[in-house]
Amino acid sequence: MKPRELLRAAESFRAADSPSAAVGTMVRRALHATRTDGLLRGAWLGHPLHPLVVTVPLGAWISSAIFDLGTRNEDAARKLVAIGLAATPPAIIAGLADYADLDARQRRIGTLHAVTNTVATAVFAASYLVRRQGKHREGATLGLLALAVVSAGGALGGHLSYAQGAGVRRWPEATGSSPRIAGEKS
């Protein structure tokens, strides 16, 4: 089965419907029409905040793998795993704000995306803990496993955004005009 077919099949994961609807309702109740809602959903930015903030943990974790495999700088790799873990809560919170607006089919993918990334984060946490115990090789192995899992989570997130159109909103331009390309005459 091709990856695209797997992602399409995941849209039919109805076991996620009841818990995902409950989470969506809870998030909507907590955030509806608050300043925090607009902040977390990126109204001020012109697009959802979640894709922007996930770059910090992902960048840290990818960089840790480079240190593990390349320069073998154990201290830098461990610190980067820690930075990724510390940067994860804002990504989760921004993702939950977007999750509240999903339809049932999108929530199925969103739920799988969240669960997959939660597993990856737990494995990164285990990687950090064994690195702290001086077991760098085991920590590096766990880190690479977690990177594979978070990549699957990213594929689900990409499917959610690009194939299903979740989070795609057309924000009105502040000036009412379209953006100009550098050097373009008005």
Q: Is 161 helix (H, G, I), strand (E, B) or coil?
A: helix
pLDDT tens digit sequence for 68-82: 998 889 999 999 999
Q: How many domains does the chain have?
A: 1
Spatial distance between the Cα atoms of 136 and 73, rounded to a whole number of angstroms: 10
Long-range interactions of 72-76: CB distance < 8 A, separation 24+: 74/131, 74/136
The 8-class DSSP code of residue 181 comes to P
Looking at per-residue pLDDT, the higher value among 2 and 65 belongs to 65
Looking at per-residue pLDDT, the higher value among 63 and 99 belongs to 63
Residue 2: inside a domain, yes or no? no
pLDDT tens digit sequence for 81-140: 999 999 999 999 999 999 888 999 999 999 999 999 999 999 999 999 999 999 999 999
Match 């089965």 to its residue by tokens: 1
Residue 25: inside a domain, yes or no? yes
Residue 168: inside a domain, yes or no? no
Residue 45: inside a domain, yes or no? yes
Residue 3: inside a domain, yes or no? no
Residue 50: inside a domain, yes or no? yes
pLDDT tens digit sequence for 134-148: 999 999 999 999 999
pLDDT tens digit sequence for 143-185: 999 999 999 999 999 999 998 988 776 555 544 554 444 444 5
Smallest CA-to-CA distance from 117 within 97, 146, 90, 144 is with 146
Which residues form the domain of 48?
Answer: 13-163
Residue 36: inside a domain, yes or no? yes
pLDDT computed for residue 181 by the predictor? 46
Residue 71: inside a domain, yes or no? yes
Which parts of the chain fold into alpha helices (H)?
A: 3-10, 17-31, 35-41, 50-53, 55-66, 74-99, 104-132, 136-158
pLDDT computed for residue 67 by the predictor? 96
